[in-house]
Structure 1
Amino acid sequence: MNQKEFESVINLPANIRYEYFIKKVVDSEEVWGLYENGWSVTEDDKGNKLLPFWPKKEFAEYCATDGWEIYSSKSMDLYEFIDDFLPNLKKEGFKPSIFLNNADSAVLEVDILIEDLKTELEKY
């Protein structure tokens, strides 16, 4: 990915970045997060616990700032993400924060993310 493409995508509105995330992770069959003895966690203004995910390594690394410098980008298999990781995330009371750009992200319920990923997978 070149710098121009990176900058154009990272600056898109959160809902468009979410659509990009769905297409890219289904295409690559992997999801990226930041990991260091556990996944990076944040929370929203309402106190919801959020776990951020990105479609590519470069986007995750871009967000390894403001206390997350110790974290490294780590990928996860898409099918493991859908079948195991997201259901566990829901049980633990976390919400997915999709494609954070250090300003905002798409925050949604786990079930909606799973459904959107499965719908996109049906196209392949």
Structure 2
Amino acid sequence: MKNEEIKAVSNLPAPKRYEYFIKKVADFEEVWGLFEDGWAISEDENGSPLFPFWPKKEFANLCAIHEWNGYRPKKIDLEEFIEEWLPGMDADGIRPSIFWNNTDSAVLETHTLKLDLEEELNNY
């Protein structure tokens, strides 16, 4: 990816970054998280756990700073993400945090993310 594209997409509002995430994840059939002896986790303003995900390695890598310094982007197969990760997160009460850009992200329920991904995949 070109630096200009990375910067332009990272600066989009969270809802637009979410749309970008859905399209790119469906295109490439992969989701990215940050990993170092365990997956990077954050929390919302109420202290509820959030699991951050990105559409491309380059975006995840930009967030490997501060408390995630030393973490590295790690790929998750989209089918595994939909079939295993999302139900597991739902059972554990962890919501997805989509496309954190070191400022904000789109936070939603796992079932909404699953429906949006499946709807986009139906376009292929």
Could you give the per-residue CA deviations for residues 62-83 of structure 1, whole angstroms, max 9, x where no partner exists?
A: 0001110121100010000000
SS, match of residue 102 in structure 1: coil
Q: What is residue 76 of structure 2 aligned with on the other side?
A: 76
Q: What is residue 44 of structure 2 aligned with on the other side?
A: 44
Aligned residues: CA RMSD? 0.6
Deviation of 1:93 (Å):
0.9
SS, match of residue 123 in structure 1: coil
Cα distance in structure 2, aligned partners of 1:36 and 1:63: 13
Deviation of 1:36 (Å):
1.2
Could you give the per-residue CA deviations for residues 88-109 of structure 1, whole angstroms, max 9, x where no partner exists?
A: 0111110000000000000000
Could you give the per-residue CA deviations for residues 12-52 of structure 1, whole angstroms, max 9, x where no partner exists?
A: 00000000000000000000000112110010112220000
- The percentage of aligned residue pairs carrying the same residue is 56
Q: What is residue 108 of structure 1 aligned with on the other side?
A: 108
| Structure 2 unmatched runs, 5+ | none
Q: Does 1:90 align with 2:90?
A: yes
TM-score under structure 2 length normalisation: 0.98
Aligned AA for 1:71?
A: Y
Q: What is residue 31 of structure 1 aligned with on the other side?
A: 31
Greater than 3 Å deviation, 4+ residue runs: none
Moved more, 73-82 or 41-50: 41-50
SS, match of residue 40 in structure 1: coil
Aligned AA for 2:42?
A: T
| Structure 1 unmatched runs, 5+ | none
SS, match of residue 76 in structure 2: strand
Q: What is residue 64 of structure 2 aligned with on the other side?
A: 64
TM-score under structure 1 length normalisation: 0.98
Q: What is residue 15 of structure 2 aligned with on the other side?
A: 15
